[in-house]
Structure 1
Amino acid sequence: MTEQKITATRTIDAPADAVFNVLSNPEWHARVDGSGLVQSDDVSDRITHVGQEFSMNMEWDKMGGSYKTDNYVVGYDENKLLAWKTAPEGDEPPGWQWIWELQSQGSETTDVSVTYDWSHVTDKEVLKKVSFPAIPQEDLELSLENLAAAVAKA
């Protein structure tokens, strides 16, 4: 595979601020995550700016079961963009990131894209250990479906 990122897009019947409200609150991430890896936030504040960090409780057999991640916000544009790099707790980010882009299509509809980008992973040991993409396209699509349901409940 030469492409080093995958993207899924969906139109959600909600205004961009309602979608952003869910995405910027780490408490909602476990309900949105289509991979099933995210279990809960680790008492994180709402995402409000680049440079912010938040932590998540995760579960994945390839990581030995339960573990935590530190997430570093690298993109923030209210109601338009959220992006973060993820790392195992206490480690530097190895180079993959999550990018959520929102494009308002009027007062009640938003096009939402989620991108899983591992193009900056350069550590040969990480590349050997993790078979990219570690999260398949179907899980991104399920994340968007879950997001639509979460926004309807929020």
Structure 2
Amino acid sequence: MANHASEHDHDPGTHESRIVVSRLIDASAGDIFNLLTNPAQHRQFDGSGFLRSEDRSFRISKVGDVFTMNMEGDHMGGEYQTENHVTAYEDNKMVGWKTAPAGTEPPGWEWLWELEAQGSDATEVTLTYDWSKVTDKELLKKVSFPLVSKDQLEHSLGLLAGAVVKS
């Protein structure tokens, strides 16, 4: 059953408050989904350079799960942790989460990975980075959205393609 509260579109490119990128990856949707739902593997396909490691996380299995990541970036003054609240989950089709600084509620940005099988050994992967629900004016002043560029998101898809081949 699909579970996702946010609206999104499938037009590739940059929009006012979201970036959408897609890539055909030569792997099954199941193999890709297996990587995406394992936070311990996320560093392999992090095109932003912020992710350092997962922190005592477990495989994502449903909407409502929360996983913690160790991060580093000048925008947060160095090392920090995020809690990622799963907002979308459908086996072999979709997984998404809203990210928040550890110990806080998500302030509104979301990552959504959508998988569309193209036969048994190829999958169209769409990655959406959406910050349209960020309403905190202080946060909007502090963080210059988008924090992750379209090029970095496309790099993530390239890294994911390489990671799924190795797994």
Give me the whole-angstrom Cα distance separating, in 2, the residues matched to 1:19 and 1:9. 14
Q: TM-score, normalised by structure 2?
A: 0.90
The C-alpha deviation readout for 1:85-135, integer Å capped at 9, x for no partner, is 000000110100000000000000000011100000001001111111110
Give the CA deviation at 1:7: 0.9
Alignment of 1:79-90 (within 5 A): 79-90=92-103
Aligned match for 2:49, one of 20, 32, 36: 36
Match of 1:74 in 2: 87
Aligned length: 154
Q: Output one character per residue of 1:6-32: Cα deviation in whole Å (capped at 9) or x when no partner.
A: 011000000100000000000111111
Which residue identity lines up with residue 146 of structure 1 in the other structure?
L
| Structure 2 residue matching 1:7: 3-state secondary structure | strand
| TM-score between the two structures when normalised by the length of structure 1 | 0.98
Shift of 1:140: 0.3
Label 1:105 to 1:150 Cα distance change in 2 as closer, same or farther (>3 A).
same
Pairwise CA RMSD: 1.0
Find the counterpart in structure 1 of residue 145 from structure 2. Answer: 132
SS of 1:98 mapped into structure 2: strand
Aligned twin of 1:48:
61
- Kindly report which structure 2 residues correspond to 1:105-144, keeping only aligned pairs within 5 A, or say none: 105-144=118-157
* Gap change, CA 1:8 and 1:2, over 3 Å in 2: closer
C-alpha distance in 1 between matches for 2:28 and 2:17: 30
In 2: Cα distance, 1:77 partner to 1:2 partner:
25
Structure 1 runs (4+) greater than 3 angstroms displaced: none
Q: State the 1:81 CA deviation.
A: 0.3
